Amino acid sequence: MPLAAAAASQTSTGEAVQFWILGTVAVLGALGTVLMKKSIHSALSLAGTMIVLAVFYLAQGAYFLGVVQIVVYTGAIMMLFLFVVMLVGITAADSLKETLKGQRVMAAVCGLGFGILLIAGISNASLHTFTGLGQANTVDGGNVQGLAHLLFTKYVWAFEITGALLITAAVGAMVLTHRERTEERRTQRELSEARVREGRQVTPLPAPGTYARHNAVDIPALLPDGTISELSVSSTLRDRGQIRDVSGDAMRRLADLEQSSERWLGREGERPAAERSERAGLAGRDNDRAEEGAK
């Protein structure tokens, strides 16, 4: 990048190479933001695009903005996004099937038309030469000083207003998310007393997970009869329908194990047929026996 040149028409080759590589990444990131099914993936793609843009800012001599882009956007705003995504539910993958009639077509027409018009407009403008920021960045002793000079002189009024806007936004966010507590919070003692009085689930809730094979919170515990215990999974996951029922899986594997052990011991056919037919329903007894067999 020519530092002192008043006008130039070409950037350095290094920048060109960088542009073509990172530009592709930026476009891919943007497409990923739009097309990824899960919002968490969208957020990560967007973060990638933003980092690329930060690099572009730096490459174009906007050093301050490049740093701000990383700190504010990828650092703060994207984290805020991730935070909300987590709050709302990460696994709720969106269906990309369109529900509004004609929306896709209209979006395509408008988007394409708009993009074509923008590009036509840019190519129509005569942008064969450019000044470069070498001069502007050195006048006040650096890019940050130059920006500060402008911010606190020419744009000071806008700056003040933006400050007011930020405060308003902060207050607004608090007002919007604040929930008034209308009754006293119940103590642990009161809760336990209420449980006993209602006579429902007096003991602690069962822990999730089935044996040592699964200990994830979304796997419900199995009851002695082999069915799952809904209570063992957090109500949030239950509401979202994110319970992974592995009881059938476990049954099948146990049955396999039992078969193979019987075969290995050469005692097949010894057990009465009636008992064997019960196997599917009375998983508990099978389990016990299978474990004995395994030993």
- CA-CA-CA-CA dihedral for 22, 72, 145, 154, to nearest 10: 110
135 binds other proteins (CB under 8 A): yes
Interface pick for other proteins out of 91, 94, 192, 278 (rule CB under 8 A): 94
CA 183 from chain centre, in angstroms, equals 34
In whole angstroms, the minimum distance from the beta carbon of 128 to other proteins comes to 7
CA–CA distance, 210 with 283 (Å, rounded to integer): 14
User: According to the binding rule CB under 8 A, does residue 181 interact with other proteins?
Assistant: no
Contact 148, 158 (CB under 8 A): no
Q: Would you count residue 224 as binding other proteins (CB under 8 A)? A: no
Selected binder of other proteins within 55, 143, 287, 290 (CB under 8 A): 143
CB contact set of 226 (below 8 Å; sequence gap of 6+) = 247, 251, 282, 283, 284, 287
Positions in 151-180 near other proteins (CB under 8 A): 151, 154-155, 158, 162, 165-166, 168-170, 172-174, 176-177, 179
Using rule CB under 8 A, residue 62 touches other proteins: yes
* Total of chain residues touching other proteins, rule CB under 8 A: 94
The neighbour count for residue 93, using CB atoms within 10 Å, is 13
Nearest residue (CB) to other proteins, 139 versus 216: 139
Residue placing its CB nearer to other proteins in the complex, 117 or 202: 117
Residue (36 or 222) nearer to other proteins, CB: 36
d(CA 142, CA 136) in angstroms, rounded, equals 8
Backbone angles phi, psi at 210, to 5 degrees: -120, 110
26 binds other proteins (CB under 8 A): yes
Contact call for residue 124 and other proteins (CB under 8 A): yes
SS3 state at 221 = strand
